[in-house]
Amino acid sequence: MQTPSPDLQAIPPDVFCLADYERHASHNMPAGAWAYLQGGAADEHTLQANARAWQAISLVPRVLRRTAGGHTRTELFGRTMAHPLMLAPIAYQLLAHPEGEIGSALAAAAQEAGYVLSTQSSTALEDIADATALDHLRGPLWMQLYLQPDREFTRLLIKRAEAAGYEALVLTVDAPTSGVRDRERRAGFRLPEGVSAVNLRGMSTPPSPTLSPEQSALFDGLLHHAPTWDDIAWLKQVTRLPILLKGVLHPDDARLAVQAGVQGIIVSNHGGRTLDTAITTARALPRVVDAVGSDVPVLVDGGIRRGTDVLKALALGARAVLIGRPAVHALATAGALGVAHAIRLLRDELEAAMALTGCATLADIGPALLADD
C-alpha cells in the first residue's frame, strides 16, 4: 500500500471547500484504493445524482431578522451537540492514510462532531473509543453494524461496543449483497497487506451450499443469511443501545421501522454504492420524515458537500447529517488535521447559510425556506 509522504500532514494552501480536498485526494491515493472509496455502483447515476439533488433545491431567504447570538446546537438521543454534523461509517480508512479511523475519530472529537465507526473498520473499536474517551466535548460515538450470519459473534461484537462506551447502534439494512461496482472491478482492487476488518476477526463463516446448475449463488446461497424484520426484534433483545436503521428510502419501510421499535432512521442510498438509479436522499428525505412524524429522529447522508446542503437537509426535516466521502478526501490529503478542517469548513458554511437565510437557530430552519419549484 502506498503511504502518503509526511508533507501531506499539512493542509494545502489552496483548500477552501470540500471539493478542493477531493481534488487533492484523487492524486494522493493509489488508483485501486481511490476506485474503492470513491466509486459507486454500475454507471454511478445515483452517486452523481445525490449531490445534484441538493444543488437543485433553491433557497428563499428571509431578511432583516435578528440572528445575533445564534447557534447551531441540537439534541439527539439526550445528547446536546454543538452542531448537526456527523461522520458517516466508512470502511478500511487505512487505505486513505496511516492514521485511518483513529485520525478521523480524533478530528471529529476535536470539532465536537459525531462519529460512526464502521463494522469493517481497519482499527479496533476499542482503540477508537479509548482515543476519544477523555475528550468530554466530543460528539456522540456510534457503532455501525452489519448483521453477520454468525449471530453469536454479532452478539459479542455488540457487547464489545457497549463495554467500550458506544452510545448507539447503526444497523445498515440496504446491502444484503454488494452493488455491481464496475469502477472497483476495473481497477482490480484488493485489500493490501495490513488492512482488514479487524473487528470481524475470529468470526466463523458458514459453508457454501452445494448448488445445482439451475440454482442462483445469490438467491439460493448468500441471501439465506440476509437480515429481515425478524432480526430487528432479535437485535432489540440483545442490546440496551438505541438502534438506528441506515439505508431507509421508502416511507413504508420507515413506518415498519417505527413499528419494530427502532429509535432512529438514516435516509441513505449507501452513497450510490449498492443500487444504481435508486432515489436520491434529498428526494427520499421528506417522504420518510412525513411517514414517521416528529417523535423519531431522521438523519440523512449522500452527496452533502456544502453548508447550504446541510441547511436544506434540516429544512426537509433531518435532525442531523452524516458526511462520508468528503471526510475520506480530507483524511487522504492531510490526516486528522484535514478531517478536522473539513468539518470546520462545513460548520462555518452552515452558519453563514443560516445568517443569510435569517435563521438564528436550527429551530428557525424549515420548509418555508425552500422554493416550491
Q: At what angle do helices 251-259 and 281-292 cross, to 10 degrees?
A: 40
Q: Which one-letter amino acid corresponds to residue 284?
A: A
Distance CA 176, CA 303 (A): 22
Distance CA 82, CA 109 (A): 11
**Per-residue burial over 194-230, b = 16 or more CB atoms within 10 Å of its CB, e = otherwise:** ebebebbeeeeeeeeeeeeeeeeeeeeebeeeebeee
Q: Maximum CA pair distance of the chain?
A: 72
Distance CA 82, CA 10 (A): 26
Report yes or no: 128 and 111 within 8 Å, Cβ to Cβ.
no
Local structure of residue 276 (DSSP, 8 states): T
Q: Are strands 320-323 and 114-117 parallel, antiparallel or unpaired?
A: unpaired
**Per-residue burial over 268-288, b = 16 or more CB atoms within 10 Å of its CB, e = otherwise:** bbbbbbbbbebbbbbbbbbbb
Distance CA 119, CA 91 (A): 7
Active site residue 27: no
* Catalytic residue from among 24, 83, 270, 329: 270
List active site positions. Answer: 270
